[in-house]
Amino acid sequence: MSVADEGEGHLSLSAYLTQIQKAFRAAMPDSCWVVAELSDFKRRPNGHCYMDILESRDGTEVAKARCTMFANVAGKVLQQWQEATGGLPQAGMNVLLKVRADFSPQFGFSLMVTGIDPSYTLGDMQAKLQKIISSLRERGWLDLQRGLPAPSGYWRVAVVAPHEAAGLADFKRDAEQLAGAGVCQFEYFAATFQGKDCSESIRDALRQVHERHQAQGFDAVAIIRGGGAKSDLAWLNDANLAAWVCRLPVPVFTGIGHEVDECVLDLVAHRRFDTPSKVIGFIKTALMSEASAARARAEQASALIQRLVAGQGPYLDRAWGYFSRRVVERLHAEHRNLLDRQSRFDSGRARLITQQQAEQQAAQDRFSRLTLGLIASERQKALLGASRASAQSLALIARENARLALAGTLYDKTNPLALLGRGFALIRSPGGEIVTSAQQARAAGRLDLAFADGHLSATVTESTNGAQTT
């Protein structure tokens, strides 16, 4: 039997959830300030805002809730927030929210946001910054960049910046002029400067810079952003990112885009500038100063040389006269030496030619005698060879004649015509086939008898004794 059958009452779902809603509002009528991490923030076109907040302990999520801030409240709250931070709330920020618990039969449980305190978030950012600085100081890394020597020149500069950022465009305008003049080269590395992936993205870019530096050294590294909300600095206040900048073996210049507020990268960098334009302006000024100093040193050296030359005029004249005389004397001595060497060379050449001619004649005589001896020897060898060949030919002819005589004897013994001369006859059928038996003769009927002196035809007849011919 069911509960309904027993007659007990029941409620619809909406009615039951409405009761829960009333209980909620009765139990928690007032708002309360809550501290949490903002994991998601979305503002709809209608002005309503939806947020997800959470609480974590030791990396484990212990609480989570969904929040709603209606447009009539969001307009005023977000205006105050922007005036204080320069932007909108973002995921990853620690926030202080004024909320009121609510339950809706249609949408379920939610926290209604009626206020956000920007000072708490800014204070949390500052506290986080100070914690990072203390950690770097304890490790001895805080002043590593400032301890690096200033660049002696700006031949190659690495630039880490967001892709297509406004500050990057301002930087590139002057950088391209310097690069076009051939006084400085710039290599760009893109990175994200806000959001949860900000720290890892910039660290990846710095890893690439370090690898390129090992292959072909950089004189400086510029980390620039160019404007943005004050709250965006929170993404740059990362301990791992700061450690990377501190340990980079190249001077780092920052131009984050804030004149008053500083992030940890500004505090650990070799030099800090307010904007990207001031970074490139400093590099440009340094290059111009180097050029001016080089020009001044060149002018000083030229003037010094001129003074030295002017003061040493008489000494130079005397030195030139002495040098000229010594050169002329040396040339005359070398000329006489060359003439003497030429004479000795001519005499030696004549003796050498005579000696070579005598040796050549003797060699020709030896060659003639040797040639005549070789010709006689070769002639004798040829005659001996011809004699040997003739004897071999005669022996071969005798052997061949003996073979022919033997072949003639064998032919006479085996030639059928020779047998016919001794009384034998060759019997053929009308078809020309040789008959070797009486049976073949009876079958042929007529026979051709070949004797040594002619042919006869015969007819085969039968007798009691066998086949006969007539």
- CATH at residue 40: 2.40.50.140
What's residue 241's pLDDT?
Answer: 93
Q: Which residue positions in the chain have pLDDT lower than 70?
A: 1-8, 227-231, 258-261, 294, 303, 309-313, 315-316, 407-423, 463-470
- Could you tell me which residues come within 8 angstroms of residue 267 by beta carbon, excluding any fewer than 6 positions away? 129, 133, 142
Question: Do both 64 and 97 map to the same domain?
Answer: yes
- Where is the domain boundary, 265, 290, 315? 290
pLDDT at 129: 84
How many structural domains compose the chain? 3
Let me know whether 96 and 178 are in one domain: no
Number of Cβ within 10 Å of residue 215's Cβ equals 6
Residues 279 and 147 in one domain: yes
- Provide the b/e sequence for 10-26 (b: ≥16 CB within 10 Å): eeeeeeebeeeeeebee
Q: Which long-range contacts (CB under 8 A, 24 or more apart) does 280-284 make?
A: 280/170, 280/171, 280/174, 280/175, 280/222, 281/174, 282/253, 283/154, 283/157, 283/178, 283/184, 283/220, 283/222, 284/174, 284/178
Assigned domain for 343 exists: no
Assess whether 211 and 113 both reside in one domain: no
- How confident is the model at residue 416, as a pLDDT? 63
> Roughly how many angstroms between the first and final C-alpha of the chain, as a whole number?
144
pLDDT at 244: 94
On whether residue 340 sits in a domain, the answer given is: no
Residue where one domain finishes, among candidates 56, 89, 122: 122
- Would residue 319 count as lying in a domain? no
Do the Cβ atoms of 276 and 170 come closer than 8 Å?
Answer: yes
- One domain for residues 109 and 144: no
Tokens found for residue 121: 């978030």
pLDDT of residue 189: 96
Could you tell me if residue 54 is inside a domain? yes
Let me know whether 102 and 225 are in one domain: no
Q: What is the DSSP letter of 259?
A: S
Residue 252 placed within a domain: yes
CB 239 within 8 A of CB 132: yes
Q: Which range of residues forms the domain containing residue 445?
A: 419-469
**254 located within any domain:** yes
Are 19 and 151 members of one domain?
no
b (16+ CB within 10 A) / e for 261-299: ebbbbbbbbbbbbebbbbbbbbbbebbeeeeeeeeeeee
pLDDT at 408: 67
Location of structure tokens 């030195």: 319
Do 166 and 286 lie in one domain? The reply is yes
- End residue of a domain, out of 122, 156, 185: 122
In this prediction, residue 446 carries a pLDDT of 85
**Same domain for 208 and 281:** yes
Q: Is residue 76 part of a domain?
A: yes
Q: What Rg do the C-alpha atoms of the chain give, in angstroms?
A: 62
CATH assignment of the domain containing 223: 3.40.50.2300
Residue 3's pLDDT is 47
Strand partners, 67: 51, 111
pLDDT of residue 1: 44
pLDDT of amino acid 7: 46
Residues 150 and 278 in one domain: yes
What whole-number distance in Å separates Cα of residue 275 and Cα of residue 257?
A: 4
* Same domain for 58 and 24: yes
155 plus 204 within the same structural domain? yes
Q: Is residue 334 part of a domain?
A: no
